Amino acid sequence: MPHDPDAGVQSSKPAPRSARSSAAVVFALVLGLLLGVAAIGSLGWLMLSRNSGRELLSHLLSAVTGRTITIDVSQPNVVDRIQRLQRLETVVYTMDKLVTGAKENPLLPDFLTGDRLLMIVHGEVVAGIDFSNLKPDDVKVDGKHVHLHLPAAQVFSTRLDSGKTRVYSRQTGVLVPTDPNLETQVRQEAERQMQQAALADGILRTAQQNADSTIRSLLQGLGFDNIDFD
């Protein structure tokens, strides 16, 4: 039998073009699927961590621009912040009152020489604390703890509302003229009585308590956790 020179030699013909195209399509589909899953996962992570992302972005911007937020809680700064309040009005005590004023003669009856008026007064008493004289020794700072000795509460003003204060009645004797100073004296007496009534009702105690609450809120805003008063 004649010997075939091509016998036992395998053919190395290239794969058909259709097979390569199919493989490329499968590869593209798999790659697209992976990219889609990755994109969906990234979007979900961003939605879930939006606040964290904003904080991270804020930190990055701060690092780039060199801007940082610092709060000075040293003793001089605390004293300065409180002193800026100056006269802190914490209580306004209002009152309506009937006040009587009279001038009499010990020998003659009122219808001849007397002078009497009845006044309806409306006014207010304002109390609080004056922080302008706060001293550095009144504030002691230790980390997040601050101890304060606040000034005592005081009455700032006692005043009548002229628009709501009026003379209700006036009776003057037939033998004497109307005293122009009597109304002024009655007004002064009304202010004195209003202040006494406010003090008796504890206006200074309330003013001190309200000032403590205001200063406590201020210091908490500065970052202090433990605040003591004496």
| One domain, residues 225 and 113 | yes
Are 113 and 182 in contact by the 8 Å Cβ rule? The answer is: no
User: Which tens digits make up the pLDDT trace of 130-175?
Assistant: 988 788 888 888 888 889 888 899 999 999 998 999 988 988 888 8
| One domain, residues 38 and 115 | no
Q: Which amino acid is at 78?
A: V
Cα–Cα nearest to 225, from 142, 130, 114: 142
In this structure, is residue 49 part of a structural domain?
A: yes
**What are the backbone dihedrals phi and psi of residue 86, each rounded to the nearest 5 degrees, phi first?**
55, -120
In this structure, is residue 224 part of a structural domain?
A: yes
User: Which tens digits make up the pLDDT trace of 188-198?
Assistant: 999 999 999 99
Q: Which amino acid is at 160?
A: L
In this structure, is residue 197 part of a structural domain?
A: yes
For 124, residues 6+ apart whose C-beta sits below 8 A from its C-beta are 92, 93, 94, 95, 158, 159, 161, 194
Instruction: Say whether 140 sits in a helix, a strand or coil.
Output: strand
Q: Mean pLDDT across the stretch 223-228?
A: 87
| One domain, residues 81 and 186 | yes
pTM: 0.61
In this structure, is residue 70 part of a structural domain?
A: no
| One domain, residues 46 and 100 | no
**Which range of residues forms the domain containing residue 26?**
18-65
- Look at the chain and report how many structural domains it folds into: 2
